Structure 1
Amino acid sequence: MTAISGMAPINTALQRLTGRAIFNKFALLARKGDVTADKRMLGLGLSTDMLNRITKEIRTSASFNGSRLKAMNFAQWGDQEALAAFENAVFRMGRTVIQENDLGNMAMWMSHPLAKTLFQFRTFMLASWSKQFLNGLNMRDFTTFASFSTTAFLGTMSFATREYLNAQGRSDREKYLAERLSPQKLAAAGLQNSSWFGIFAPIIDTTITPALGMNAIFDARNTQQASDAVFGNPTVGLLDALKAATTVPAEIVPNRDSSTTVARM
């Protein structure tokens, strides 16, 4: 992630907002007095005893403006072990909410050149298998349901917006939108672009749909690449583009009506 792509400042801003939300969550817990660690807290490495040590330090050291948290004042914490556990928990929660890939998310064979070729732009999807899907199945609570539903909804909306913009200037705009924004396409796009379903799309389009003689079900990738695991990478996409480019001279002939397809090529 680099500053040139524009994603670094966006990611930093999201992490800061998420960090504030996590701090406020712990501040609310601290105001309740003694608390019992639930499944999510245990997943962050916080036992009931450690969680109460953390909330005690927040009550005694953090500063509030009424009920609003102003600062954690970590320098004033006397229990350094509780501080270290709190920092680790916030780090783990933050990198799950705003997903970032870790070296531990990838298998050793992922460093092989062939694997790098096949899985270009898909490491984020592979990491979501454990950080989003498996973690959500383990928790099985309303937070998981809300997260899965929200990301699927946002994935649908982003796909619909992108397709609407792509349709501008097309002579077959209405037909294009009717096809691309059908209920089936929107449902598939929402699942494919969600935080938890990503790994299932290439599996289905690589194994099940070819066996049934069907076209790919999931074709809503932001990169416009195919969804299957074999042909859905930039290297194969480049070869397909070069093959398509060889047909352009034959299409451009005198007295031939220009078409949207030729113009786009």
Structure 2
Amino acid sequence: YSMAQPGNDYWVGSGTWICVKPWTEWVLLCMYNPEDGEPDTSEASVIERARATIGDDSIDIRIKAVSKWQINHVIADTYQKGRVFLAGDAAHRHPPANGLGTNTSVQDAFNLAWKLAFVLRGHASPHLLDSYTQERQPVGQQVVDRAMTSVRDMLPISEALGFRPGQSTEEGWDTVHELFSDTDAGRRRRTELDAAVQLQNYQFNAHGVELGQRYRSAAVVDDGTPFPDPVGDPELYYQPTTHPGARLPHAWLEHHT
């Protein structure tokens, strides 16, 4: 749940609530402008921020922990150097947008684990390990880049709503009222807001990024045909294919007797 409220102070936006345990435990994510100095992360300040985003001062809130982190846009050029292999956060770091951090890390480990097992047991040449970087680094690059783009794609929503850091509550409500007014400015801003909301498909519905990963490496035996041309935006839409190097299409079936 993402909150955008008129009259935010040093926080950029108001906050995003991520459910940890329904419906009693949450992560409240807030962003701030470092040019305004360090935010007040005291327990009292965080509780005040939480109640402001909820809109109910009577909510009983217990803070378990408070921490600060920074957005990274980092990808290793290679996942292997000699006997050293990188996986997970050591290989790629990015914001949580698109929600692919854990999946990507698990896939790194799976890709590397079976190859290491084959080499150590003598079932494959050590050259098989070269395919780890060839296959996983491009996937990590795509995930990192997509996550950063998705973060940037959230800014047009605040811009269309007319919110900006440091704006008073009165100024914020004035721009909201204009947004819903029957005026040229109101109609233009509603069009801009609709376009900004549609951008969020690339964060929440980017099945092409989630499922359309394609490996090209010395370990993949090609069938002599090219990958099929994408139908629609390849980041947004997943295109099933049995071409070597692609995820094997499948579906879950339920049998009822």
TM, length-normalised to structure 1: 0.22
Greater share of residues in helix: 1
Q: Which has the higher contact order (CA 8 A, sep 6+)?
A: 2
**Which is greater in Rg?**
1
